[in-house]
Chains A and B, each alone.
Chain A
Amino acid sequence: MSDIELVLAECLVAIEKQQDTIEGCLARHPDLAGELAPLLRLAADVRAVPAVQPSPTFQQAAVPRLLNLIRAREAARVAPAPAAPAGFWQRLWGWRPNRALLVRVVLALLIVALLSGGSVATAQSLPDSPLYPVKRAAEQVRLNLTLTEIQRAKRLLDFADERAREIIVAARLNKPLVAERALRDYEGALLLAGSKLSQEWATGRDVRPVMKALLVRLDRQQAALEKALPQTPPRSKAVLIEAIVVTRRAHERASEFLQNNP
């Protein structure tokens, strides 16, 4: 370590402990004073920056919110997993998958897809593709890995972007039923994200920046849907138009929220 590094560190500690001043330190080290002075002043200015704090609403609600989240997690941990209704799995194999096993299976499928160069194909798959369940399962895993509701809402908005892309591609390929399926999920993702953000707002979180970002996304989605309309075969146009209506409705709800909560 060089002299200047050591002297600077000693002076900073002495000033912090109010055992010395900048001037005193410079007087004790005249040979280094030229280099030391601006650094000591800068350090003092950084220390003097007024403390940044979370918003008062966040601060007030923070501890009860965290405790609620923790208790919900603990309750979910000790409660037995709810029995799934007898359905496809039982009828087929007389076997019910548990959640942990399902996650492992999905991860294994993802690894296989990646190793076989199928990740791009999976990411771009449409609801009628054999790879589509892998893509949706991967989304579910990503959603399950989120820790907070705001993060979950943002992820749902990412998924809504992807559903909008699927609607456009399927409509262009004249697959109205496939586009219709993506449209239902698009609307579902937007509604669920909106409901999560409203719930967060009710518990004191400032979700307005996320709502503003949502408006930008919805504008982008609407522009992409409208742009795709002229190149879409007539039979599939109705789905695109419905998607535009869904997007506008979501835009209106988000705008209304921001107007009511400026």
Chain B
Amino acid sequence: MPSEAELVQRASQRDAAAFGELYSVYLNKVYRYIYYKVGNATEAEDLTEQVFLQAWEAIDRYRQQGAPFAAWLFRLAHNRVIDYHRTLKSPAPLDPSLEDRRPGPEEVVARRLDAQALQQAIKHLSEEQQQVILLRFVEGMSHAEVGAIIGKGEGAVRSIQYRALLALREILGQGYQG
């Protein structure tokens, strides 16, 4: 089984099969990150594919930057989502099941969190706070890894994490009032 570094090395030499393996490894992670940002499964699938096509086009530039591959990929995903929101004419989600609403406190207490409630809640956070919540607690990355993606030091990530959890608690209401 080749290491990630080997796969990246081969992919940067235009080895499509190696890039396909990297895609298999990161497909679900990148999809999940995008899904929470756009709230629509079909859009998330399309944007995920776009991110990887863009990654294939730009993998030479990644090699020159020397950042961890995951950090580079999530940065591409983040920028793609920003472009998507910028060009979105109608902010209404296509999935009728994902209408914009904040979950009521009783609802949250009753069923705790599910993906839809979390998606609805985090979109009320700032861009940085969303990134930290998703990367830290959904993707399970360390403070350092998150810092590499959002371009901040570990101390700054810890501060954003604290403020993000406070804000999320505020949004989700009673269930998390202590």
Q: Which residue in B17, B94, B115, B165 is a CB contact (below 8 Å) of A43?
A: B165
Interface of A is mostly: helix
CB neighbors of A among B98-126 (8 A): 112-115, 118
Q: Which residue in B43, B56, B161 is a CB contact (below 8 Å) of A9?
A: B161
Chain B residues whose CB sits within 8 angstroms of the CB of A51 once the complex forms: 28, 32
Assess the A9–B158 pair: CB atoms within 8 A: yes
CB neighbors of A among B12-44 (8 A): 14, 16-17, 19-20, 23-24, 27-28, 31-32, 35-36, 40-44
Q: Which residue in A34, A43, A54, A212 is a CB contact (below 8 Å) of B27?
A: A54
A1 contacts the other chain (CB 8 A): yes
Chain B residues whose CB sits within 8 angstroms of the CB of A65 once the complex forms: 49
Given A46-B133, A49-B114, A62-B32 contact (CB < 8 Å): no
Closest CB-CB distance, A154 to chain B, in whole Å? 9
B166 contacts the other chain (CB 8 A): yes
B81 contacts the other chain (CB 8 A): no
Closest CB-CB distance, A172 to chain B, in whole Å? 24
Q: Which residue in A70, A158, A208 is a CB contact (below 8 Å) of B16?
A: A70
Assess the B113–A49 pair: CB atoms within 8 A: yes
Q: Which residue in A4, A38, A55, A212 is a CB contact (below 8 Å) of B162?
A: A4
CA–CA, A1 to B143, complex, Å? 14
Closest CB-CB distance, B52 to chain A, in whole Å? 6
Closest CB-CB distance, A73 to chain B, in whole Å? 8
Given A46-B113, A47-B137, A54-B28, A205-B162 contact (CB < 8 Å): no
Closest CB-CB distance, A60 to chain B, in whole Å? 11
Given A5-B158, A66-B52, A209-B95, A50-B177 contact (CB < 8 Å): no
Sorting the interface of chain A by its residue count into under 10, 10 to 19, 20 to 34 or 35 or more gives: 35 or more
Which of A6, A52, A66, A209 is the most central at the interface, judged by chain B CB atoms within 10 Å of its CB? A52
- Which of A110-118, A124-132, A144-152 interfaces with chain B? A144-152
CB neighbors of B among A31-79 (8 A): 34-35, 37-39, 41-43, 45-55, 58-59, 62-63, 65-67, 69-71, 73-74
Assess the B115–A50 pair: CB atoms within 8 A: yes
Chain A residues whose CB sits within 8 angstroms of the CB of B142 once the complex forms: 13
Q: Which residue in B17, B168, B176 is a CB contact (below 8 Å) of A67?
A: B17
CB neighbors of B among A18-37 (8 A): 34-35, 37
Assess the A209–B165 pair: CB atoms within 8 A: no
A241 contacts the other chain (CB 8 A): no
CB neighbors of A among B118-165 (8 A): 118, 133, 136-138, 140, 142-143, 155, 158-159, 161-162, 165
Chain A residues whose CB sits within 8 angstroms of the CB of B133 once the complex forms: 46
Given A9-B161, A148-B46, A41-B176 contact (CB < 8 Å): yes
Assess the B177–A38 pair: CB atoms within 8 A: yes
Assess the B53–A66 pair: CB atoms within 8 A: yes
Closest CB-CB distance, A238 to chain B, in whole Å? 31
Given A43-B165, A206-B42, A207-B42, A53-B32 contact (CB < 8 Å): yes
A16 contacts the other chain (CB 8 A): yes
A105 contacts the other chain (CB 8 A): no
CA–CA, A70 to B38, complex, Å? 25
Chain B residues whose CB sits within 8 angstroms of the CB of A5 once the complex forms: 158-159, 161-162
Scoring B residues 31 to 69 as 1 if CB is less than 8 Å from chain A, else 0, what string do you get?
Answer: 110011000111111101110111011000000000000
- 15 of the cross-chain contacts (CB-CB < 8 Å) are A9-B143, A43-B137, A46-B137, A52-B31, A52-B35, A54-B45, A55-B41, A62-B27, A73-B57, A148-B50, A150-B42, A151-B46, A207-B42, A210-B42, A212-B94
* Chain B interface residues toward A at CB < 8 A: 14, 16-17, 19-20, 23-24, 27-28, 31-32, 35-36, 40-46, 48-50, 52-54, 56-57, 89, 94-95, 112-115, 118, 133, 136-138, 140, 142-143, 155, 158-159, 161-162, 165-166, 168-169, 172, 176-178
